[in-house]
Amino acid sequence: MDAIYWIVAIFLILAALVVLYYTGGLEKFLPVMIVESQKAVVLDNRLGKDRVIYEGINRYIPGIEVVVGEITLKEHPIDPPAQEIITKDNINLVVDMIIMIKVKDALKAVMDVEDYQESIKSLVMSSTLNKLGQMNLNDIQKQQDSIAKDIREHMQKDASRWGIEVVVVKFENISPPASIKDAMEKEIVAEKESKAAILKAESDHKVHELHADSEKVLIEKRAEATHKVIKDLKELMPTLSDEKIMQFLTKTAYIDSMKELSSSSNSKFVLYPTDVQQPMEKVMNAEYMTRATLNDTK
C-alpha cells in the first residue's frame, strides 16, 4: 500500500513539474543539452509530444524526455555490401553501389523506421537487383548513368516516408565473371586490330593513288615532250617519214637508257649488242645533227 502511495506521489510531482514547465517558466531551471552544428537530437517525451532539438543550447526534462537518436544533417554516404546479380542473359555480376543521402526530417528518420541507414542499404540492394535482373549485360554497361538515375527515383518513393532524400546513386564497380572479362578484352583487342588494319589499308590506298597520279603526270610530260620532238623534226625535215621518226625516237630512248645504266653507281660494266653498232652510229649522228639544228633555231 505504501509503494502505491509513493508511486502516485511521484507521478503527481512530475505532473506538477510539467505543468509548471509549460505555464510558469520553470524551463530556465532545467538542465541543458548542447547540440553540435549540423546535427539534430531526437527526444522521446514520455508524457507528451516527441520533439527534435538542433544546434545550440537546449533545455530538456530529465526522466521525461529521453534521447533516442542523434542525426547528422549533412549529406553522407551509405555503402551497402557488394551483391551478386544474374542478368537477363544469365550472366553473374558482382555489383557494388554507393549512395549519398540527406536527412530532411530527423523525427521520421528515428521514430518511423528501426534503423534508417540499414533500411536504405536494403532498399538500394533490392532496387538494383530488380532493375539489373531485367537487363542484358551489354545494356547495363552502356546505360550505367541512366540506370543509377532510375534506381534513385525508385528509392526516393520509399525513402521519403522516412524523411530522407536520396541525393545520388552511383555504381562503384560492376564485375562480370573472368571468362566474360577475357572475352571482352579479346573483343576490344580484335576491334583495335581491325581499326589499325583499316587505317593501314586506307593509307596504302592513298600512297598508291599518289604514285598513280605522279606516274600519270610523268607519262603526260613524256608525251608532251615526244610530241614536241616530232613536231620539231617535221618542221626541220618535212620529207622525213613517220617510220623514220619513230625509229629515231626508239633509238634515242635506247641510248638514254644505256647512258643511265652506265652512270649507275651499282653497274660494273655494260654490254652493248653488236648488231646495233652501226645503226647506233647513224642514230647518234642524226641525234647530234638534230640537236644542233634545234639549238641554232632557238
- Length of the chain equals 298
DSSP string, 142-200: H-HHHHHHHHHHHHHHHHGGGTEEEEEEEEEEEE--HHHHHHHHHHHHHHHHHHHHHHH
> Does 115 score more than 60 pLDDT?
yes
For the stretch 191-244, pLDDT in tens is: 666 777 787 777 777 877 777 777 777 777 777 777 777 777 667 667 666 676
Residue 101 lies in a domain: yes
Q: How much is the pLDDT for 51?
A: 92
Q: What percent of the chain clears pLDDT 70, i.e. is strictly above it?
A: 67
Task: State which residues form the domain around 152.
Answer: 76-176
Q: How confident is the model at residue 245 (pLDDT cuts 50, 70, 90)?
A: low
For the stretch 25-56, pLDDT in tens is: 555 556 888 899 999 999 998 888 899 999 98
How many Å separate Cα 287 from the centre of its chain? 72
- Determine phi and psi for 29, rounding to 5 degrees: -95, 0
Domain holding 148: CATH number?
3.30.479.30
Residue 94, C-alpha cell as written in the block? 558482382
Residues 118 and 45 in one domain: no
Q: Which has the minimum average pLDDT: 121-125, 163-167, 264-268?
A: 264-268
Residues 67 and 81 in one domain: no
Q: What percent of the chain clears pLDDT 90, i.e. is strictly above it?
A: 33
Residue 115 lies in a domain: yes
Residues 60 and 122 in one domain: no
The end-to-end CA distance of the chain, in Å, is: 149
Q: How much is the pLDDT for 104?
A: 94
> Does 284 score more than 50 pLDDT?
no
* Mean of pLDDT over the chain: 77
For the stretch 128-153, pLDDT in tens is: 999 999 999 889 988 999 999 999 99
How large is the average pLDDT for residues 105-120?
93
Domain count, the chain: 3
Residues 31 and 82 in one domain: no
The residue among 20, 45, 72 that closes a domain is 72
Please say whether the beta carbons of 168 and 99 come within 8 A: yes
DSSP string, 54-106: EEEEEE--TTTEEEEEEEE-S-EEE-PPPEEEE-TTS-EEEEEEEEEEEES-H
> Does 2 score more than 90 pLDDT?
no
Q: How much is the pLDDT for 62?
A: 83
Q: How much is the pLDDT for 89?
A: 86
For the stretch 248-259, pLDDT in tens is: 667 666 666 666
Question: Using CA atoms, how far apart are residues 21 and 18, in angstroms rounded to an integer?
Answer: 5
Which phi-psi region, left, alpha or beta, contains residue 108 (left: φ > 0; alpha: ψ -120 to 50)?
alpha
Q: pTM for this one?
A: 0.54
Residue 188 lies in a domain: no
Residues 293 and 272 in one domain: yes
Residue 193 lies in a domain: no
Q: Which has the minimum average pLDDT: 66-75, 149-158, 191-200?
A: 191-200
Residues 68 and 145 in one domain: no
Please say whether the beta carbons of 111 and 68 come within 8 A: yes
How large is the average pLDDT for residues 108-128?
93
